[in-house]
Each structure stands twice: as structure tokens, then as C-alpha cells.
Amino acid sequence: MTTILADTFRAALTRLTNDEQKQVKQTVYDLQDDPTQPGLSMHRVDKTRSADIWSVRVGRDIRIILQKSGADLILAYVAHHDDAYAWAERRRIELHPTTGALQIVEVRELVEEVTAPVPAAAGEGARPEPPLFAALSRDDLLSIGVPLDWIGDVQAVSEDGFFELARHLPEEAAEALLEYATTGQLTRAAPPVENPLEHPDTQRRFRVMDGIEEIRAALDAPFEKWAVFLHPSQRRTVERAYSGPARVVGSAGTGKTVVALHRVHRILQSEPDARVLLTTFSAPLSRALEAKLRILFGERSHLLDRVTVVSFNRVAEQLYTLATGMKPNFAGAQLIRNQLRKAADEADVTEVSSQFLLSEWDNVIDPWQLNSLQAYAEVPRVGRKNRLGPRQRERLWQVFDAVRIHLAARRLFTASSLFAETAALYRDKQPKPFTHIVVDEAQDLGVAELRFLSAIAADRADALFFTGDLGQRIFRQPFSWKALGVDVRGRSVTLKVNYRTSHQIRRAADRLLPRSVRDLDGISDDRAGTISVFDGPEPEVYVCADQNEERERAAELLRGAVETGLSPREIGVFVRSEAQLARARAAVRAAGLPARSLVDSAPEGDDTVLVGTMHLAKGLEFRMVLLMSCDQDVLPLAERIEQVADEFELDEVLTTERQLLYVAATRARDRLVITASTPASEFIDDLLSAD
């Protein structure tokens, strides 16, 4: 017997209490073991439009809804008795007549009116809005998976009624319609295949379970819907054979991390000798990736013995120690500043500021690991406005070379020099430490990091796989990957479907960035055409007279959110930097809610508001996000503006500050709230400006 898990079942399971979920899971395991055992109390559901729909009793009041299809069982839904039967009676499970995909469809005649045109304005002479899809024929709508009995509603719906209608349609149909409304392009579904369970649109909502172990893995801890049910574009990206380094891009919420995790899973399952590195820019994110990977693997956790999940810095430290037997010691930022100033004084270099020297070191000398005047003369100083003649570079090199010599004599590393030295240790070593390297948040890779990863990867075409969003770059300056031998042209994939963030929040956040972000190799991350598949309220902004008023307003908003049903753990409160954390904590206390920081470990059953800085918000998701202290001198941060060395750095600061706000805003799924004390950040007007 084959058990097939529907996404509607998984979603319904999460709405039950923990004890109820345990009972449901045990019943599912019993079904898998022997569906004919009398203790399961299985009954046919009579008032349904599909054949062989049954209910299975779980305890006194919980019922599982399933379909028997030959030797297969499709787990479709689970809920309390009345809700479970009502769900079953209003739906049918069928193959779409045109696409051949298996769908769970709401019976149109049992659904209240959802598509009545909305008047454009009240008063005499008001005209109803025109139908949004008037140009699409019946065959067009069938080709994208619209069920037969919903075609009339789609043809009549106006723009205002679309999102309400979309809730009742299969995902592929809703997405295709939204894409058409946004871009004017109609993307038809994949054609029918011999086995309907192998159709891409079937696989986005049904997963065939391979025995009890996989059922346990899917039910015990599904960290999010995408972990089990991949969108067809995600699945193609995961399973594709690449002839060189590959990169997956897309705006926040399009599932890039899930693609990275599934890519690791596929490699380890298909190649018994694979040794995989899954890495990202920070230790907290790497720990989050490891936790999600364990959930995805479930009881196949033995595969994890062949994967290493650590940050860029940590893997460099580990490999350096492995090769040399020594732990690296690092030079602190203050020591670097002091040595630059001292070397400048000794060389009588007074024509540039200390800030320029530090900027040149951080953005040119150290990341590129320059070791000679000739190398300094030839390095691409991308975008830097201060043009340096040969004599200027010669004088400045005296300063930088002195600092290099000082650090080398004391065996002190910077992060970049450790990457460079470790790369040199492993560049010609065979076998390499890893056959495959999968990098998440790759937009924050620097020059030294990319060279290092290339050096420790196996000599095979598909060794490197990157995921990231150029619009979320907040740490590193741009550079040419191709110039370093990592050419992803022709193997760059853009994900366009946003499942995490509402249409309103995504649209507002996208206003902070250009419609298309292009890297230095000419590859564009085009945000135009990205769609969110659900609706929500517009972002809220409150500019207060002072910090006291902001605290009270924020506390009121937090209390109201909890009173309307949100759990504290579903709320994130973020500020620009540590200097504003006290303001956020004070607001949470004033709301009477418990809070924890991002560095605290969450206890079992944690139900606290998370408070942290915007930089550490990456990889997180909340029903509601409150961004506080978005004041004029806080965002962009005044200290960064004051420290810029040239116009290029000013542009970089403003760009990365915008992108930081974008990162924080897109952590919100349903509700985004921004507060500030007057005068507010200039970015707020951009975020709320009309399209």
C-alpha cells in the first residue's frame, strides 16, 4: 500500500493541539501498518462529490479524511468531527481534464458568492470594474488548471475580487492568473503525464510517502510547507544537472533556502560518496540551516554524516587547524586602525584621512589579499571615486605593506587572510575536503570567501551551487565572480513565486529597491513579475512626536495583536542597531509581554516576542513584524554616513541601508508595522509611495 500525503492534511494537522497531533500521527502509522484493522473505525463519507472518501476515527472527536484509490491512500484532511465532514462534503479529489494534474477542488455550487464586481466609486453613474481576465478564453483557463466549474467566476472577477477568488482555486491556477494580471503573460501548466502523481502540479500538493520512516519525517516536524511540497520551478532547479557553477536568485520569500536544502538532500541520496558542505555567512544562520536539514531528512539522518553545516568563517578555521595543527589568532578591528595610523605617520602620508586608509584596507587591500605594489596597481577598484595615480598608490602601499608585515610577523589573521591562506593549503590537495558546496545567502560572499570555496571544492562541474538575493546584500561590496573563475552565466535561475510574504508587504518592500538588480557580470535579478500568492493588510506606519509616544504606540499595537489571536512567538520586533534595542525592549515590557533576544536559546514551548537587530533578522519569519526606531539619524545610520571616505562609499552605505530595511520588512508574513519618532527616516516615504 502507498500512502500519499496532501498539503491540506499537513496544514490542517498543525491547527490541532499537540496531544491531538500525537493521536493523529499514531493513527496514520497504524493505517500504514494495516488499513484493514477494525480498531481504526473507518466509515465512508456519503455526502461527497468524490468516490471512495472515508473518515477514520481518532479519539472521541478527531477525524481523518482520506481517499482510497486502488492500493493507495490519500491523506486529505484532519479536524474535529463536524469540521472534517464539512470539509469533505465541500470538496472533490480529481484529475484536471486538461492538465491531468491531481487536484483537491472546492465544489463551486457549495461556495458562497465570491466574485461579484465591485463598483469603482459610489454615486450616480458609477460603473462596475471591468473583468480582469476578459481576454482569456475557456481553453486558456483550462490550460492553467482552472477547474471547470470555476471558469465563469474567473471570467467575471474584477481586480478587487481576485484575491478572494484565488483562495478557492488550485495553486497553479491562482499563480498563473496573478502572473497574467501582473505581466500580461500566461504560463500554461505542464502537459499530462502517464502517471498523474508525477505531474509537476500534483507534486506541489501531494507527496508519495516511501514507508513509515518517511511518513514520520513528514508529520513529526515539517518546518514549513515548502520542505515537503516543492513548487515545480523549485523542483526543476533542485533536480537539474548543471554543467558548471549554478546560482539561484529571487526576492525574499521565494524559497531559495528550501531549494538549497533540497539540493543537499538530492546530492546525498543520489551519490553515496558525496561529501557536502552547506554554508552561509553567519553562525546563527548555519545552525538554523542544520536544524531544518535534520527535519527534512527525518529518520534518514544517517545521511547527515556526510554533510557539514557551518559558516564561511568556521569552515575556514576548521580546515586551517586540520592542515596545520594550529588554531588561527585574529587581529582586532582596533589594532588594524592603530597600525594604519602608525604606518601612515612613519611614512609621512598625510594627504589622506585615517578613514580613507581604513576604507581602502577593508574594501581593496584585505579582501583581495594584495601582496605587492604591482598587485595594488592592477586591482580593480570597482566604483571608487578617488582615482589614484601611480605615485599616490606607491605612497599608500608603504602604509598597507607595513600593516601586512606587522600582522604576518605576529601570525595574526584577518578573516580574509585566513580564507586566502587556507585556500592556498588546499588548492592543490587531493582529494578535496568536499565534493559539493551549497551556499545560502550567497549575496554576502566576499572576494576572499569565493576564492576559498572554489579552492576546497572538488574538480567537478557541478561542485558549486549558490542561492541568494542581490537585493539583500548588506555586508559585502559587489565584485565580478567571473573574474575569479566562477561563471554562473547560463546557469542562473530566478524564482518568482513568493509564498511567505503577502502581496501588500512584498509590493511595499520592493519599492525600496530597483526593479532589476544587476551584478558586475551582467546577470540581472529582475524583481518584476514576482508574485505573492496571498493577500493581506497594507503596511502601517506611525511617526510619533518623541520616543515616549512611540513606546506607548508600539505597546498598544503589540497588545492588540495578541488580543486578536497572535501568539507572542509569532511577533518579531527589530531595530537598526544595538543602540536602539532598549527602546524595543521597553515597548514589549510596556505591552506586558515576555521577550527574548536573538542570542538566547528558545526554551521548549517558547512563547515570547523576539527582539533583535535588523542584521540578525535574516532567515526568520513572523506573522507580524514591528520595525521600531526608524528615525532620520538611525536609518540610514548617522555613524556610517559620517565615516564614508568618498562618494562611492556614500552610495554603498545608502544602498545597503535600504537593503537592510528590505530584509527586515520581508520577515513579515501577514502584518508589517513601522514606528519612528519624528523626524522619520527618508526611506519610509519610499516604502509607502504609490507604484
pLDDT in tens, 100-126: 999 999 999 888 766 544 444 445 555
d(CA 680, CA 549): 14
* Cell matching residue 226: 515548502
| pLDDT higher than threshold 80 for residue 69 | no
Q: What's the whole-number mean pLDDT along residues 316-322?
A: 97
Locate 661 and state its grid cell: 530595511
Predicted confidence (pLDDT) at residue 423 exceeds the cutoff of 90: yes
- Residue 59 CB neighbours (<10 A): 11
Of residues 75 and 523, more confidently modeled:
75
What percent of the chain has a predicted confidence (pLDDT) above 90? 53
User: Are 104 and 8 within 8 A, CB to CB?
Assistant: yes
Q: Could you tell me if 286 and 314 are in contact, meaning their C-beta atoms sit under 8 angstroms apart?
A: yes
Which has more pLDDT, 288 or 437? 437
Cell numbers linked to 676: 519612528
**How confident is the model at residue 646, as a pLDDT?**
65
Lowest mean pLDDT among 276-280, 308-312, 625-629, 638-642: 638-642
* 3-state SS assignment for residue 52: coil
Kind of pairing between the strands at 42-44 and 53-58: antiparallel
Say yes or no to pLDDT of 181 above 70.
yes
- pLDDT band at 222; cut points 50, 70, 90: low
- 527-555: per-residue pLDDT in tens? 667 888 788 899 999 999 999 999 999 99
What's the residue count for the chain?
691
| AA identity, residue 106 | E
In this predicted structure, what is the pLDDT of residue 120?
46
> What is the average pLDDT across 615-624?
85
580 phi-psi bin (left φ>0, alpha ψ -120 to 50, beta other): alpha
Q: What is the pLDDT of residue 122?
A: 47
Question: What is 537-688's CATH number?
Answer: 3.40.50.300
CB 147 within 8 A of CB 105: yes
Query: How confident is the model over 1-22, as pLDDT tens digits?
Result: 788 999 899 889 888 888 898 8
pLDDT average, residue stretch 50-64:
89
Residue 595 and residue 609 in contact, taking contact as beta carbons nearer than 8 Å: yes
Q: Provide mean pLDDT across the span 323-341.
A: 95
Indicate if the pLDDT at residue 128 is higher than 80: no
Measured CA to CA, the distance from residue 650 to residue 548 in angstroms comes to: 32
- Predicted confidence at residue 113, as pLDDT, reads 64
Cell of 688: 509607502
**Runs of H (alpha helix) within 167-282:** 171-183, 200-203, 211-220, 225-228, 232-239, 256-270
- Pairing state between β 524-526 and 62-69: unpaired
Neighbouring-strand partners of residue 92: 105
CATH of domain 2-101+195-216: 3.30.2310.20
- The sign one gets for the Cα dihedral 178, 182, 186, 187 is negative
Q: CA 492, 494, 495, 501 torsion: positive or negative?
A: positive
Tell me the C-alpha distance between 608 and 596, whole Å.
6
pLDDT at 170 over 80: yes
Q: Which helix (H) or strand (E) holds 146?
A: none
pLDDT at position 46, please? 85
Say yes or no to pLDDT of 231 above 70.
Answer: yes
Residue 371: exposure state from Cβ atoms within 10 A (0-12, 13-18, ≥19) = middle
Reduced DSSP (H G I as helix, E B as strand, rest coil) percent helix, strand, coil of the chain, to 5: 45, 20, 35
- Residue 292, pLDDT above cutoff 90: no
Long-range CB pairs of 233-237, under 8 A, 24+ apart, other chains included: 233/493, 233/495, 233/496, 233/497, 234/258, 234/259, 234/262, 234/495, 235/200, 235/203, 235/262, 236/200, 237/263, 237/493, 237/495
Does residue 384 register a pLDDT over 70? Answer: no
Cell 585566513 belongs to 418
Residue 647's pLDDT band (boundaries 50, 70, 90)? low
Mean pLDDT over 234-246 rounds to 93
From 14, 499, 497, select the one nearest 222 (Cα to Cα).
14
Of 441, 435, 440, 486, which Cα lies nearest the Cα of 456?
435
Q: Please tell us whether the domain made up of 221-324+428-496 is placed in CATH 3.20.20.70.
A: no
The mean pLDDT value for 374-397 works out to 79
Q: Are 539 and 688 in contact (CB under 8 A)?
A: yes
Give me the pLDDT at residue 42, please: 84
And the C-alpha cell for 301?
539522518
Q: How far apart are CA 186 and CA 41, in angstroms?
A: 47
Alpha carbons 440 and 612: distance in angstroms, whole number? 21
Average pLDDT, the chain: 87
Measure the CA–CA gap between 504 and 379, rounded to whole angstroms.
Answer: 44
Q: Look at residue 410 in the predicted model and tell me its pLDDT.
A: 95
| Span 362-386, average pLDDT | 82
